[in-house]
Structure 1
């Protein structure tokens, strides 16, 4: 695969005009939060928020982008030879994803007992995710925002009330898709547990769930967390972000009634609401 000049500019830290990027890929990169918008009057261009995260996403998305890994490896090897620092030659030193919980959960890692019970103010990172298994009655909640993920105890009452009112188990494992990769999604596809997605309440956030998770995990084993008070929350949300996302995501739909109702509500209010707004609602 030949890497386009536009992608090379983004990964080098430069700006690229919207007209220079493939429309579908641009939508994906924006939904993943990998690009930031730079305005020049009425014109827009894009810049990578994190060049390494962008490179990693492209490699995980399509085998054709593996050339980026080879190029990076070769470049780092050259640097290692010149500096004597062998760490520079590592291509991907951090596979896996972080996990968190506010109660002990007896899991297995590599076939051996592994207790997930991080102290408040910390979380665990599962690198060998292929051998990580959890009890079948545990609900997996994926949290898009790292601040929410770190502060799950400040949202405990919110989660417990939601799970109880929707008939879910109260045994919960929290996971996060950080660093940006498909490891978490691949793990979700090989376990039998239900996946509950907790992201921003905007069109881009719903798009992430639909096309990065539900499409692979399946409708029977995945759902989008929709709080009972989301209508009142959206009224005080961001109209600017709704407007920014509208052109790219205005046509997203779901045949899951509750999720389609949320999409219609977002369009009705013309607002977006960040999931961080739920952090301070309850403290223990």
Structure 2
């Protein structure tokens, strides 16, 4: 038995802590994982059931032992590429000494003012011309001053037009980092440096889950979620009710921030959420 792309993606979500509706996980491979105890079914009421992982490490070990998959993320990427060779397949599913080498890694950055930085032991000034940004490939050697706040921008449109949102960050020295391309490189870099992190995303349930699952879990003492002071007014005037109802059933981790808890209470009070693009001046 091998994992199809669809099932591999579902298992990856389960490894990341997501609960999936049991109705979407009808497959012999999933059934076997339930029987073997690495997945479990959670019943909610009389008709709803969700599938969740019993433990990330147990599931990873199970995939390696039963399917020979030692890197599920790489396995998925290779299938999506559509050009997996037999050598690739052996490397991903039959030899733990071999691993995929990513030739395109890193993240996009931007600033509002010139910022001194170091990359590969060379100093340079970060200051892209308007309409451009800088891609940092060798993020392992990328260093910036400790007082700079890393601002993770969730949506591409906000990142592209970051200068029209400068008024939001007047009290800090920000370095803006785009969430796209979506990889784990940003989290790895944040773990290595001492800088504080500010998550600048949508004001909805999905953004809270992204913040906790992708960033907060790596640097809980240095990560905060940006919430505008006028959020309630913005929800009233520009909130999205259909999106609220679409997302309200999303499972969230245990919240550890009173500000985020209050934000979620505002969602429920107004039955609306807010997309961050509304903060771009001129929109």
TM-score (norm 2): 0.69
1:253–1:260 CA contact under 8 A, matched in 2: no
Contact 1:155 1:281 in 2 (8 A): no
1:115 counterpart residue number: 125
More helix by share: 1
Residue of structure 2 aligned with 1:100, choices 107, 110, 123: 110
Gaps of 5+ in 2: 11-20, 27-69, 87-99
Deviations 1:159-178 (A, max 9, x none): 21xxx3xxxxx321000121
Distance in 2 separating the partners of 1:140 and 1:150:
16
Structure 1, gaps ≥5 residues long: 11-16, 23-61, 79-89, 165-169
Distance in 2 (alpha carbons) for counterparts of 1:203 and 1:73: 31
**Partner of residue 259, structure 2:** 258
Secondary structure of the 1:154 match is: helix
Is contact 1:72-1:91 (8 Å) kept?
A: no
From 125, 131, 156, the equivalent of 2:141 is 131
1:61-100 equivalences under 5 Å are 63-69=71-77, 71=79, 75=83, 92-100=102-110
1:3–1:65 CA contact under 8 A, matched in 2? no
Root mean square deviation of aligned Cα: 2.8
- Number of aligned residue pairs: give it: 216
Q: 1:280 to 1:7 in 2, by over 3 A?
A: farther
Larger Rg: 2
1:230 aligns to what? 231
State the shift of 1:21 in Å. Answer: 3.6
**TM-score, structure 1 normalization:** 0.69
Q: CA deviation at 1:253?
A: 4.5
Partner of 1:19: 23
Cα distance between partner residues in 2 of 1:8 and 1:211: 19
Q: What does residue 243 of structure 2 align with?
A: 241
Shift of 1:252: 4.8
